[in-house]
Chain A
Amino acid sequence: GAGVSQSPSNKVTEKGKDVELRCDPISGHTALYWYRQSLGQGLEFLIYFQGNSAPDKSGLPSDRFSAERTGGSVSTLTIQRTQQEDSAVYLCASSIGMGQPQHFGDGTRLSIL
């Protein structure tokens, strides 16, 4: 498809397990963003990639969170030793650059039991 693709769409896991969330941006979009949407906190920025580098990781809530992007395309957000407060919808967005509209995927709904 032509849009941002995220997988899985839903993920249920036990507290303490590691999870990986995947984002496939729109082809040609060099900027990639991860956001988290939760009931208590709304929509929060997590990390920004320009190409394969991440010049802004300021939104990652703890060192249990990490992300990488390879080949200037697919990105993976990894959460280690998941906690119940990690339960949220994780949204990925891509754009052709700063100051340009970001296009969002449908998100991964993560539930920690």
Chain B
Amino acid sequence: AQSVTQPDIHITVSEGASLELRCNYSYGATPYLFWYVQSPGQGLQLLLKYFSGDTLVQGIKGFEAEFKRSQSSFNLRKPSVHWSDAAEYFCAVEWGSSNTGKLIFGQGTTLQVKP
């Protein structure tokens, strides 16, 4: 079955430090890849997306992600974390073969930022 894995359930970084959140997906043709962020009591906000083309994509709030087909990965990065980045982050994949557009989500990574 198609699946998405976020290996790190919880990550703590110091404010100003760099961040990388990992995401791997099971093999499948034509994946559309997304990162969402969720603050407590709120819905999911789209950070960035990859459909095709340049494998390094830029998103909102200074985030970027790199698609590596050979590694089936789509890791999220930020050069310098701010306290307001503390939240839960979800990687999601839509497989083009699904014909529905439904998203398969990873289990999420909770980011804590130390002052």
Which residues does A use to contact B, with CB under 8 Å?
Answer: 4, 31, 33, 35, 42-45, 48, 55-56, 59, 91, 93, 95, 97-107
B32-65 CB contacts (< 8 Å) to partner A: 32, 34, 36, 41-46, 49, 51
Name the residue of chain B whose CB is nearest to the CB of A92: B43
A101 touches B46 (CB 8 A): yes
B interface, how many residues as a size bin? 20 to 34
**Once the chains are docked, how many angstroms separate the CA of A105 from the CA of B38?**
11
Chain A residues with Cβ below 8 Å from B104 are 45
A33 touches B101 (CB 8 A): yes
Say which residue of B45, B90, B94 sits within 8 Å of A43 (CB atoms): B90
Say which residue of A33, A44, A99 sits within 8 Å of B96 (CB atoms): A99
Chain B residues with Cβ below 8 Å from A106 are 41-43
Name the residue of chain A whose CB is nearest to the CB of B51: A99
Chain B residues with Cβ below 8 Å from A4 are 43
Q: Indicate whether B68 reaches chain A with its CB closer than 8 angstroms.
A: no
Name the residue of chain A whose CB is nearest to the CB of B48: A101
If over half of A's interface residues share one DSSP class (helix, strand or loop), that class is named, otherwise mixed; here it is: strand
Chain B residues with Cβ below 8 Å from A43 are 90, 92, 103, 105, 108
Q: Indicate whether B75 reaches chain A with its CB closer than 8 angstroms.
A: no
B41 touches A98 (CB 8 A): no
A42 touches B94 (CB 8 A): no
B42 touches A98 (CB 8 A): no
**Once the chains are docked, how many angstroms separate the CA of A45 from the CA of B4?**
13
Say which residue of A45, A91, A101, A104 sits within 8 Å of B102 (CB atoms): A45
Name the residue of chain B whose CB is nearest to the CB of A100: B101
Say which residue of A42, A100, A104 sits within 8 Å of B43 (CB atoms): A104
A45 touches B103 (CB 8 A): yes
Q: How far, in Å, is A49 (CB) from chain B's closest CB?
A: 10
B101 touches A99 (CB 8 A): yes
Chain A residues with Cβ below 8 Å from B90 are 43
Q: How far, in Å, is B39 (CB) from chain A's closest CB?
A: 10
B43 touches A95 (CB 8 A): no
Max chain A Cβ within 10 angstroms of own Cβ: one of B36, B90, B92, B100:
B100
